[in-house]
A and B are shown apart, each in its own frame.
Chain A
Amino acid sequence: MLSIIQYEELEILLNDLDTRYGYDFTEYSKASLQRRVQRLFAADKFPSFAEFRYRLRHDPHYFRRFVEEITVNVTEMLRDPAFYRVLRTVILPVLATYPFIRIWHAGCSTGEEVYSMAILLKEAGILHKSLLYGTDINPQVIEKARKGIFPMSQMQKYSENYILSGGLKDFSSYYTANYHLARFDAALGEKMVFSTHNLAADSSFNEFQLILCRNVLIYFERDLQNKVLNLFDTSLENLGYLALGAKESIRFSPLDSRYRQVGREKIWRKGL
């Protein structure tokens, strides 16, 4: 017989985690959370919900595993090449006019997007005056992002993405292959700062000209989406840009009236 975690049980868990560890997942999309929690529950072979709950409440190490497993860490380099082409041709030329460029990748996971951006900035000749902040709720992925080492098996796909995004160089010139791993050029990593940050609870920490948060808001309920969009609004300079995932939008948020979309991509400019 299947043991299915019901929504009432999920609510109990989330309240436990908020009280016990101060991690508030109560405004996350429940369908997505249920799926991740169900998967973890099955993978770790708990005999009952009660035992699962007990372990989570009393074992901080297991709670760490929980956070690592229920957050979604799927990412890739230069995903949606058309999006990166617009960054190259429309956004970066504007950013190039600033003396100093600050970019925030919110929910950056293992850092592939941050490295993608660094490559674009380097090719635009403005990496030297840029600083890229990568943040994620999950400390484990932040550790990986700092290393700048990605699976070699993905490089062919990334190279194709790179060419489609308008890249003119040999993509392999950006990394050193070492068996099944690709270590990216340390010069790219020098302009990056990685840190944990919880979009649901933490506040703004700087002002940016560009914030990217792609395929993160889909995991939040609408109230939390709006809260996070307000956080981005507070963290964005006037005339700065906000980039979201292909299926995300500011349409139902308070930002809608004060931002204008850039072409057909999910990029909006503040204050126009």
Chain B
Amino acid sequence: MSNNRLIVIGGSAGSLHVMFDLLSGLRPGFPDAVLIVLHRNTQSDTGLEELMSAKTGLPCKEVEEKEPVLPGIIYLCPPDYHVLIEKQHTFSLDYSERVNFSRPSIDVTFKSAALAYGESLTAVLLSGANADGAGGLEFVKQQGGLTVVQDPSTAEVSFMPEYAIARGKIDLVLRAEDMPAVIFGPRPV
């Protein structure tokens, strides 16, 4: 088990290009693990890993059942499974009921990552049209992690970030272009 940080980024409608912009700020040798929870169409958008890998120069792969979370890798949730993180920092897949009409659900991953990583977790919520993520951010906050939400005025679909901000105290509300320095940089005290 490592002391490395984990950065979980959740997004839904209107978040894909923001996600790409964020990740293109990363360079090989990046010391933390990144996990992307994206509401995606089952089956249809294959090839996302290759694209993200090409943009960042970091290896990008779909999460596999029980594999360890390793630094310097961008992980993508597979379509139609929830992704959980064990306390010894391995991934588990889960095919239980949809949460917020979603599988993978951002709430599910935020909550389990919060328990496994505590203060070493940064959770980021981007554009989207549903309520997913808000409940998870509460968990992250309570377990000592850092919560970041995209400034709704800069989000293509503002509902999801607005909902999260209304529901709980968020550490940082940032415009997309200001995010990389904060979420991938040294952790603010």
Contact = CB atoms under 8 A, between A and B. Distances in A.
B92 A31 contact: yes
B44 interface: no
B138 A31 contact: no
A58 interface: no
Interface stretch (A128-136, A140-148, A215-223): A215-223
B115 interface: yes
B126 interface: no
A188 to B, nearest CB: 25
A65 to B, nearest CB: 17
A7 B115 contact: yes
A2 B94 contact: no
Interface string B47-66: 00000000000000000111
B95 A74 contact: yes
A213 interface: no
Contacts of B115: 4, 6-7, 31, 34
B68 to A, nearest CB: 11
A72 B103 CA distance: 14
Interface in B93-132: 93-97, 108, 111-112, 115-116
Contact of B92 (A1, A6, A36, A218): A218
A: contact size bracket: 20 to 34
A29 B139 contact: no
Given A35-B108, A215-B95, A222-B66, A247 B78 contact: yes
Interface in B62-80: 64-66, 78
Contacts of A7: 87, 115
Given A34-B115, A35-B111, A4 B143 contact: yes
Interface residues of B, number: 24
Contacts of A222: 66
A248 interface: yes
Contacts of A249: 65
B20 to A, nearest CB: 25
Interface string A23-56: 0000001111011101000000000000000000
A166 interface: no
A189 interface: no
Given A29-B92, A218-B93, A248 B65 contact: yes
Contacts of A34: 112, 115
Nearest to A7: B87
Nearest to B103: A74
A32 B97 contact: no
Contacts of B111: 35, 38
B142 interface: yes
Given A7-B115, A247-B81, A249-B65, 20 more contacts: A1-B142, A4-B143, A29-B84, A31-B86, A31-B92, A31-B94, A31-B112, A31-B116, A34-B112, A34-B115, A35-B94, A35-B108, A35-B112, A72-B95, A74-B95, A74-B96, A219-B92, A222-B66, A245-B95, A247-B93
